[in-house]
Amino acid sequence: MDNNMSNQINPEPYGDSYDKPLNQAPKKKGHALRNTIIVILVVVLLLLASLITAVALAFQTPNEDKFDVSPDNGALETILYSALYDEEAYISNDSLNSLIAYFINEDKASRAEENLEESALKSAVFLVSDSEPCKLYSKINVGGHEMEFSAEFSIDSDIQNGEIRLSVSSVHLGALPISPDLALNYIFTNTDAANASFLRRDGNDIFLQAQYSFEILEQDLTLDIVKLEPADDGVTLKTTSAADLLWNSLGSWFDSLF
């Protein structure tokens, strides 16, 4: 009987059981460190992938087809006709964008003649509508690279203090959506907009001067835009009457001949 009892008692399993808890702690620490490193690497790779994707989107030009515009100043005749006859004028998006292209080309030629640095603004196209948000597509020189900015905005038809208010609601750099505040901060700090006397910025609102001066027959004429509203595929505007101003200018011009 003693022999049977001695054969059943085996102390070795007890020793192994006590050793196991002591050996688990270092393994858990090793697993935790490994998992932490893996998580950090995954986060870094995701951030890097996001950065590469953002840069790729920013350099895209999804609206390249909209910049095919021929410069033309015919819209000025429409505005002048409206001022002479004290009537509203309708300017289509095509006429408006041709006029903008004309002004940009004139500015480029003037800067080249005076050996001045080229403007950061390379082109701009407006798509104005009375049934959906207005859109702006532009190309701007950013750090030596021509990049596309696009924006959605609304036009406040109530002209106050001689200014036209445009409220920007969204902006894209290429195909990348960015904060309007961030975009306007850059534009009004690093482009000609920073020193332009005819516009100013307040938050996400841009205010355009509604008064413009011209020289005709050596006489200065000043016209005020008193109405500017989105229309179907264009804008409707009205200025102060120029008839009296022109008549006075003609009178002064005739007087100067004799």
Residue with tokens 């901060």: 185
More confident: 26 or 173 = 173
Is residue 250 predicted with pLDDT exceeding 60?
no
Q: Give the three-class secondary structure for 95.
A: helix
Report CA torsion sign: 141, 142, 146, 147: negative
Phi-psi region of 159 (alpha: psi -120 to 50; beta: other; left: phi over 0): beta
Instruction: Please tell me the predicted confidence (pLDDT) of residue 104.
Output: 93
The first and second tokens of residue 31, run together, are 């697993």
Q: How many residues does the chain have?
A: 258
How crowded is residue 12: how many other Cβ atoms within 10 Å of its Cβ? 7
* C-beta separation of 249 from 219 below 8 A: yes
pLDDT tens across 97-137, in order?
999 999 999 999 999 999 999 898 999 999 999 999 999 99
Rounded to the nearest 5°, which phi and psi values hold at 160? -125, 145
* CA max distance for the chain: 151
DSSP 98-146: HHHHHHHHHHHHHHHHTTPPPPSEEEEEEE--SSS-EEEEEEEEETTEE
For residue 254, name the pLDDT band (cuts at 50, 70, 90).
very low
Is residue 21 predicted with pLDDT exceeding 80?
no
- Count Cβ neighbours within 10 Å for each residue of 69-90 and write b for 16 or more, e otherwise: beeeeebeebbbebbeeeeebe
More confident: 99 or 219 = 99
Instruction: Please tell me the predicted confidence (pLDDT) of residue 257.
Output: 53
> At what angle are helices 243-257 and 74-85 packed, to 10 degrees?
100
The first and second tokens of residue 217, run together, are 């027959």
Query: To 10 degrees, the CA torsion angle through 227, 230, 236, 242?
Result: 30
Spatial CB neighbours of 65, under 8 Å, sequence gap ≥ 6? none
Cα–Cα distance for residue pair 19/21, rounded to 1 Å: 6
